[in-house]
């Protein structure tokens, strides 16, 4: 006779129930995505009269029209994000190296000031930042979005890079210094290679944040050709709400493709960065 441990049996049943519930919630989370896919291939009549039904005929032209309208703004958005993320990584790495390896007067105070910046909601600084943009004559330019992105994103990046570099053995930097390396060479050949997971995490977080930004670009950019895709989608929806909702849903799918690609190719790097930060922190 095989003896069954009742306690283990109860734990197994409980774990099975939890997994089934989580699987149900996982499947439900895909419902909006699948529904959007179905709606993007329907005619306007089918959307308003048979919302949850399968499309009788797939209308691929919705995607062609949506891509024609959004492609320019998507390219513009990705270009601005690339410049901003590079700026964030450069500033975060250099400032994190300084805070993590150097000793100077006021170091702890400056670092605490950076931590305080993280506690201030971004909405409280919108008016002040807007006035600065007007004062410097950058209104309705791409730099009006890029510079605030770099300034705001470098706060979190500096903290993560500082913690990662500070956790590295100091002997590595001492050995590099004995070999004649200056600060920039130490950062390039010792610091950066060892904190690549953290840098990858910062880059991925900032790409997602910037791609989803809406309020600030809407405030400082007026020209449609310079505008971000998130803001253009709002105008796109308003323009086609009554005549072509299928095109609108196709636009939503097209606009989400860059983030889906980012998730597919960088999710492992993102998790490695989080794990490294958790272990070193």
Summarised one tens digit per residue, pLDDT across range 9-44 is: 777 788 889 989 999 998 888 888 888 888 888 888
Mean pLDDT of the chain: 85
Distance CA 104, CA 111 (A): 12
Share of the chain above pLDDT 70, in %: 92
Q: 175 to each of 102, 181, 272, how far by Cα in Å?
A: 16, 9, 27
Whether residue 217 is predicted with pLDDT greater than 90 in this model: the reply is: yes
- On whether residue 242 sits in a domain, the answer given is yes
- Number of other CB atoms surrounding residue 43 within 10 Å: 17
Distance CA 221, CA 227 (A): 6
Based on the domain organization, do 36 and 67 belong to the same domain? no
Q: How many structural domains are present in the chain? A: 2
Based on the domain organization, do 217 and 248 belong to the same domain? yes
pLDDT at 276: 57
- Confidence label for 203 from pLDDT (cuts 50, 70 and 90): very high
Whether residue 3 is predicted with pLDDT greater than 60 in this model: the reply is: no
CA angle 69, 72, 78 (to 5 degrees): 130
Distance CA 262, CA 203 (A): 11
- Confidence label for 206 from pLDDT (cuts 50, 70 and 90): very high
Q: Which of 2-11, 91-100, 112-121, 267-276 has the highest mean pLDDT?
A: 91-100
| Both structure tokens of 280 | 């070193």
pLDDT at 281: 43
User: 126-179, pLDDT tens digit by residue?
Assistant: 888 999 999 999 999 999 999 999 988 898 899 989 988 888 888 888 888 888
- On whether residue 196 sits in a domain, the answer given is yes
pLDDT at 280: 46
- On whether residue 234 sits in a domain, the answer given is yes
Based on the domain organization, do 23 and 137 belong to the same domain? no
Based on the domain organization, do 160 and 30 belong to the same domain? no
- On whether residue 21 sits in a domain, the answer given is yes
Based on the domain organization, do 123 and 221 belong to the same domain? yes
pLDDT at 92: 93
Based on the domain organization, do 118 and 28 belong to the same domain? no
Based on the domain organization, do 120 and 28 belong to the same domain? no
User: pTM of the predicted model, to two decimals?
Assistant: 0.83
Which range, of 135-149, 191-205, 206-220, 266-280, averages the lowest pLDDT? Answer: 266-280
The contacts found for 206-212 with CB under 8 angstroms, 24 or more apart, are: 206/81, 206/84, 206/85, 206/88, 206/149, 206/153, 206/157, 207/81, 207/85, 207/262, 208/259, 208/262, 209/153, 210/80, 210/81, 210/84, 210/85, 210/149, 210/153, 211/77, 211/81, 211/258, 211/259
Q: In this predicted model, which residue has the larger pLDDT, 266 or 88?
A: 88
What residues contact residue 97 under an 8 Å CB cut-off, 6+ apart?
A: 161, 165, 183, 186, 187, 191
CATH number of the structural domain spanning residue 175? 1.10.3720.10
Based on the domain organization, do 112 and 229 belong to the same domain? yes
Based on the domain organization, do 115 and 220 belong to the same domain? yes
Based on the domain organization, do 92 and 36 belong to the same domain? no
Range of the domain at 267: 61-280
Based on the domain organization, do 186 and 253 belong to the same domain? yes
pLDDT at 94: 92
In angstroms and rounded to an integer, the radius of gyration of the C-alpha atoms of the chain is: 25
Based on the domain organization, do 137 and 11 belong to the same domain? no
């Amino acid at each position: 006779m095989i003896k069954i441990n009742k306690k283990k049996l109860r734990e197994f049943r409980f774990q099975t129930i939890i997994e089934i519930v989580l699987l149900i919630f996982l499947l439900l989370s895909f419902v909006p995505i699948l529904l959007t896919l179905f709606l993007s291939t329907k005619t306007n009549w089918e959307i308003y009269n048979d919302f949850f039904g399968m499309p009788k005929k797939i209308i691929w032209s919705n995607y062609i029209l949506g891509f024609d309208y959004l492609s320019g703004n998507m390219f513009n958005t990705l270009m601005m994000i690339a410049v901003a993320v590079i700026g964030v990584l450069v500033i975060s790495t250099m400032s994190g190296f300084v805070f993590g390896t150097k000793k100077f007067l006021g170091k702890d105070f400056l670092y605490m000031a950076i931590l305080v910046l993280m506690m201030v909601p971004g909405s409280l600084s919108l008016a002040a930042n807007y006035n600065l943009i007007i004062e410097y004559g950058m209104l309705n330019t791409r730099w009006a979005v890029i510079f605030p992105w770099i300034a705001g994103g470098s706060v979190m990046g500096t903290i993560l890079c500082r913690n990662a570099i500070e956790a590295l053995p100091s002997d590595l930097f001492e050995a590099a210094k004995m070999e004649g390396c200056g600060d920039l060479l130490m950062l390039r050949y010792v610091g950066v290679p060892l904190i690549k997971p953290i840098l990858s995490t910062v880059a991925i977080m900032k790409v997602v944040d910037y791609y989803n930004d809406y309020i600030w670009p809407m405030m400082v950019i007026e020209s449609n050709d310079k505008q971000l895709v998130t803001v253009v989608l709002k105008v796109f929806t308003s323009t086609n709400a009554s005549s072509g909702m299928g095109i609108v849903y196709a636009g939503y799918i097209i606009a989400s493709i860059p983030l889906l690609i980012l998730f597919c190719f960088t999710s492992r790097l993102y998790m490695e960065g989080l794990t490294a930060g958790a272990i070193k922190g």
